[in-house]
């Protein structure tokens, strides 16, 4: 059995279209890595679970050759996310912030400059995990 410990470092917004958000997820398993994941920010719980699943799937795919062996246990890969519950809770809070900013765009008809500034503010949002 191969056990891999992963630390989620940062989420950074790349693109936002209506409720759909594309993020760069920075994580570390002794080597810094980045995944791009898309989902709906109005369902933060589901989106955060999809991010964790994407990290696990990525790690298993990248390490499948290292877990070669004759038995099931030898071929099994365990991916542990450090402080997983806390990380998911913080992700949900981050998605709620993005969702509230998106509602500001929908709730009023700002001038062009105000609209562009708010969109840029959303695209520059990021969250680091401590």
**Residue 126 pLDDT > 80:** yes
**Residue 124 pLDDT > 80:** yes
Instruction: Please give the pLDDT value at position 103.
Output: 83
Instruction: Please give the pLDDT value at position 25.
Output: 97
CA 15 to chain centre: 13
Containing structural domain, residue 34: 2-128
Q: What percentage of the chain reaches a pLDDT higher than 70?
A: 88
Confidence of residue 115 (pLDDT cuts 50, 70, 90): confident
Q: Which two tokens stand for residue 40?
A: 């709906």
Confidence of residue 120 (pLDDT cuts 50, 70, 90): confident
In angstroms, the CA 105 to CA 98 distance is 11
Residue 124, CA distances (Å) to 6, 85, 88, 118, 128 in order: 25, 25, 21, 10, 13
Instruction: Please give the pLDDT value at position 20.
Output: 87
**Mean pLDDT value across residues 31-45:** 93
Tens of pLDDT, residue by residue over 49-99, are: 999 999 999 999 988 877 666 665 556 888 999 999 999 999 999 999 998
Domain count within the chain = 1
């Amino acid at each position: 059995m191969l056990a891999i410990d992963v630390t989620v470092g940062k989420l950074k917004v790349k693109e936002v279209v209506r409720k759909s958000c594309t993020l760069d997820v920075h994580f570390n398993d002794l080597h810094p890595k980045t995944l791009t994941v898309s989902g709906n920010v109005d369902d933060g719980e589901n989106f955060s679970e999809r991010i964790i699943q994407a990290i696990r799937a990525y790690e298993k795919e990248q390490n499948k050759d290292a877990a070669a062996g004759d038995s099931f246990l030898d071929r099994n890969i365990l991916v542990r996310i450090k402080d997983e519950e806390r990380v998911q809770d913080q992700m949900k809070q981050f998605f709620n912030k993005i969702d509230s900013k998106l509602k500001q765009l929908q709730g009023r008809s700002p001038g062009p400059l105000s609209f562009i500034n708010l969109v840029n503010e959303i695209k520059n949002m990021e969250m680091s995990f401590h």
